[in-house]
């Protein structure tokens, strides 16, 4: 059994084609800008109105429900994307769901923060068609300040995946957060990290938005919400320029 807090069809920004996004609850990181604060705690919880967030779900019925959209996946080259929260926070459940998804003929994508033990790399690589891998910061201290945890394991996992998997199976995603990693030095370091490991391809840039205030209030954590300045069009241009070239091509908002 796993804890799933949302299943959304016609997800068009989380991998190729038309996808169903499955949101798993629980995350080892505590990013101060988090857009989905209701996803952070591992267990089901009640929101301010008393409604449940998260539900114990078995992998078979979850995948059975997702697979009803197979005709839409087939027509568009889509499939299922596991996201969260951090899906690898529920690893046995995630692996079973991935197995069942593949058995049902679904293309599988995993959106991950990368903070999981290296022994899971090979099992995941055997079951995930596409990794959407968050690369938040290359600098360990900055990463710890922004997310509450260090990035050694994350960078090692990304390095392994980039080395071991065929091109096209890993797409880096960078949440662009003013006050965290939107400065020239940080973003150039990210670009350099990717180029140094031979990555060539799209880099998804996920722009910060300040729309999560209500979500924090919903889970009774209004005090935890921290607003950052919004990105201007000029910011976006400059940021994209730093992540362009040398084999990298920036894509705002994912695809």
Partner 1 sequence: MNALHPDADRIGRIRRRFQTGPAFVSVERARYYTAAWRASEGLGLAPEIRVALAMRAVYERMTHHLDPDDRLAGAWTEHALGVPIDIERGVFNAVFDAELTRPRMLKARALTAARAAGYLARRGGLVTFLKNQRIARAHGGAPLSMALDPMPARRVNPFQIRPADRRELLGELLPYWRGRTLVDRLDGALADSGLRSRDMHDFVLAVAGGASRQVEMVSTCATVATLQGHVILDHDKLLRLGLLGMRDEVRARAAEAEGAERTFLESLEIALDGVIVFARRLLARIDRELAVAPLRRRPVLSALRDRCARVPLHPPTTFAEALQSLWTVKTAVELAHPVNLHAFGRLDQILGPYYDADLAAGRIDPEAATALLEELLLKIMAQNLRPESNLLANFYHRFLGSSPVTVGGVTPDGADGTNALTYLFVEAAARSRAVTNLSVRVHPGTPDALLEAVAGHVAAGASCFSLYNDAVVAEAMERRGFAPADARDYALMGCVEATSPGRTGGMSANALLLSRLLDITLRDGDSALLAGTVRGEAPPLGAPPATFEALLDALVARAAYFIDKIVRASNLRDRLYAEHLPAPFISAFMEGPLERGRDVTRGGARYDLSGISIINAVANLVDALHVIRALVYERRVCTVPEVLAAVDADFQGRAGEAILAEIHAVPGRWGNGDPAVDALAHDVVARLAAEVHRHRSFRGGPFVVYAISMITHTIDGRLSVATPDGRRAATPFAASCNPANVEREGVTAALRSVAALPFEEMLGAAVNLKLHPSAVGATPAARAKWVALIRAYFALGGAQLQPTGVSAETLRAAQRDPDAYRDLVVKVGGYSSYFVDLGPEVQDEIIARTEHGASGV
Residue among 196, 210, 202, 225 nearest 138 (CA): 196
Residue 14 contacts partner 1 per CB under 8 A = yes
Question: Which of 76, 159 has the CB closer to partner 1?
Answer: 76
The window from 8-16, 86-94, 164-172, 219-227 that contacts partner 1 (CB under 8 A) reads 8-16
Where in 192-251 is the site for partner 1 (CB under 8 A)? 206
The reply to whether omega before 84 is within 30° of 0 (cis) is no
Cα distance between residue 73 and residue 180, in whole Å: 36
Residue 134 contacts partner 1 per CB under 8 A = no
Residue 69 contacts partner 1 per CB under 8 A = yes
Minimum distance of partner 1 from residue 253's CB (angstroms): 8
Minimum distance of partner 1 from residue 123's CB (angstroms): 26
Checking DSSP bridges between strand 2-11 and strand 55-57, what pairing results, if any? antiparallel
What separation, in Å, do the N-terminal and C-terminal C-alpha atoms of the chain show? 30
Minimum distance of partner 1 from residue 21's CB (angstroms): 5
Instruction: Report yes or no: 59 and 121 within 8 Å, Cβ to Cβ.
Output: no
β-partners of residue 215 are none
Contact residues toward partner 1 (CB under 8 A) are 7-14, 17-21, 35, 68-69, 71-72, 74-78, 81, 206, 253-255
């Amino acid at each position: 059994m796993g804890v799933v807090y949302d299943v959304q069809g016609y997800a068009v920004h989380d991998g190729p084609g038309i996808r169903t996004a499955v949101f798993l609850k629980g995350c080892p990181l505590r990013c101060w800008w988090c857009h989905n604060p209701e996803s952070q705690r591992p267990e089901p919880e009640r929101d301010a109105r008393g409604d449940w967030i998260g539900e114990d779900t078995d992998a078979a019925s979850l995948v059975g429900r997702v697979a009803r959209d197979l005709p839409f996946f087939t027509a568009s080259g889509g499939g299922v994307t596991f996201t969260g929260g951090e899906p690898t926070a529920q690893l046995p459940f995630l692996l079973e769901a991935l197995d069942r998804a593949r058995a049902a003929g679904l293309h599988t994508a995993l959106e991950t923060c990368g903070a999981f033990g290296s022994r899971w790399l090979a099992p995941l690589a055997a079951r995930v068609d596409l990794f959407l891998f968050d690369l938040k910061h290359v600098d360990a201290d900055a990463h710890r300040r922004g997310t509450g945890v260090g990035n050694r394991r994350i960078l090692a996992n990304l390095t392994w995946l980039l080395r071991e998997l065929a091109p096209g199976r890993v797409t880096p995603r960078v949440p662009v957060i003013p006050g965290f990693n939107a400065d020239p030095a940080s973003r150039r370091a990210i670009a350099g990290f990717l180029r140094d490991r031979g990555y060539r391809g799209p880099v998804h840039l996920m722009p910060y938005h300040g729309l999560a205030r209500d979500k924090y209030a919903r889970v009774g954590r209004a005090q935890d919400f921290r607003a950052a300045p919004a990105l201007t069009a000029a910011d976006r241009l400059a940021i994209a320029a730093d992540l362009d070239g040398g084999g990298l091509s920036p894509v705002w908002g994912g695809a």
